[in-house]
Amino acid sequence: MRRVLACWGNGDFGRLGHGQACLSEEVPKLCAKLNGLNAEQVACGGAHTAVVAGDGRLFTFGLNSHGQLGHSQDSEFISEPSAVELPEPVQAVAAGHHHTLCLGHNGQVWVFGNNAQWQLGLGRKASTHTSQPKPLQALSGVKIKSVAAGAEHSLAVSEDGELFSWGCGGQGRLGHGAATGMGWLQQQNEAQPRVINSLEGTPIASAAAGHMHSGCVDQSGQGYSWGCGRFWQLGTGSDRDVYNPAPVEGLHALNGLSCGGLHGLAQEQTGQLLAWGANQNGVLGLGSELIQSQRSPMPLQKIFASQVASGWKHCAAVTGTGKLIAWGWGGSMGHPSLDNLQSSGGQLGLGGDTDRWEPAFVEWIEDSTADMLTQVTADGHEQWRALQVACGFNHTAAIFEVSEYAEKPIA
C-alpha cells in the first residue's frame, strides 16, 4: 500500500493541486505531483492546501494572496504542490483562512501568511503578512505537540498539556476572559501566544479552531468550547458568547473535536459522532431540512468514525475500516464574494454539488491515470482506504492508502 493525497471540490486558485486548469472536481482525485512521497498529514485553509510528506517536507498550493504558501509572493496562486524551505522536517501542519502554521520535529512552530490580526503570533511590531516561514519565538523553549488554525486566530498545545492562543480575540475566541466589569478585553487581540490560565491544572490533549470559536479536549476526554455563541456553535444550550473555556455537557469521553464555520463536531471514544450549531446546508448531518440549528450535542445516527473534519458548511469523517463519509454543503456559489469564486463545488466527493443532509459514503476515487476506483472490487480486492481527511472553505483533501492492485485498470 502507498500513501497518496487526493483533493476535490472548488478548484479556483489551484487549491486542489491538479495543475494550471484549476478545474473543480466532484470526486476525490489523486494528486499526481505527490506520487511516491507517502503523504502523512494534510490541512485545508480558505483557498489553500498544505501537506506533510513522509520525509518531513512540507508542500503547499493554492491561493497565495498573503504569502500563506510559504514561498515568495511573486505569484497570486500556485496550482501544483511546491516544497516550502524549512530548516527542519515537519511533523504537522494547520491552515487558517489566509495563514499557515507548521510544527517541526523538535516541537518548534513555524508560521507564515496573513498577520493582520496577529494570527502568526510574531509580536506587535511584526508585518501584516509574511511569505517566508518564521519561527514563533514566543514559544521557543516550549515543546509543542499540536497546532490549530481558525479563520484569524491560532492555538497550540504543549507536551505538558498547556493551551496557548493568539490572534483575533473577537467574541472571546482566544479564551482569555474579560478583565473588567465593562468587558473591555472581550475583543482584545493577542500579538503573541498566551497561555489560557483558566485551564491551569487541566492538561489538554488536543484543540480545534473554527471561524469565530474554539474548542479543546482534556486528557480525560472532556470537551470544552468558547468564543462566538450566536449560532449555537458552542453546544452549551445558549447563544451567548463565552470568554473562557467552558466544559460542554454531553461532550465526555471524546477522542476528537472539530470546529467549523458556525457548527461543532465531536467524536467519542466509541466512534459515535455528535454535532451542534447552525444546520446550514445540512452540515450537522441530522437528516432533516427542518432542523435550522441544534443547541447542544446531538448524536448522528449509525455513524461511527475514527477521525472528523469540519469546513465552512461541510463535514467529512474517516471510519475505522477506512471508509470516507461526507455531508453538508455540496456547491460553491452561495458565497461569491469570498476570494472571487469562479468554479462549481463538489467538495463532498459524491459526484455532484448537491447538498447532503445526512452522511453519505464516498464510493470512488480517481487515480493519476483517470481510472475510477471503487473501494472494493467485485472480486473482493480492497483498492483503497482513507486515513485522514481535512475540510477547507469549499474544498476537501484526504490521505489514502492505495493498493498495488489499484494501479491496474479496472476490468
What is Dmax (Cα atoms) for the chain? 71
Q: Report the topology of domain 2-407.
A: Methylamine Dehydrogenase; Chain H (2.130.10)
Taking CA atoms, 119 is separated from 66, 109, 154, 166, 295, in Å, by 12, 13, 6, 6, 29
The 90-95 sheet, strands edge to edge: 90-95, 99-104, 109-114, 129-135
pLDDT value for 331: 86
Q: Residue 314 pairs with which residues in a beta bridge?
A: 328
Q: Record the pTM.
A: 0.94
- pLDDT averaged over 10-residue windows placed end to end, the chain, 411 residues: 95 95 93 94 98 98 98 92 98 99 98 99 98 97 98 99 98 86 66 98 99 99 98 98 97 97 98 98 93 96 94 98 97 52 82 96 89 91 96 98 66 35
CA–CA separation, 64 and 113 (whole Å): 8
pLDDT value for 181: 54
Question: Tens digit of pLDDT for each residue in 65-113?
Answer: 999 999 988 899 999 999 999 999 999 999 999 999 999 999 999 999 9
Is residue 11 within 8 A of residue 25, CB to CB? The reply is yes
CA–CA separation, 296 and 276 (whole Å): 6
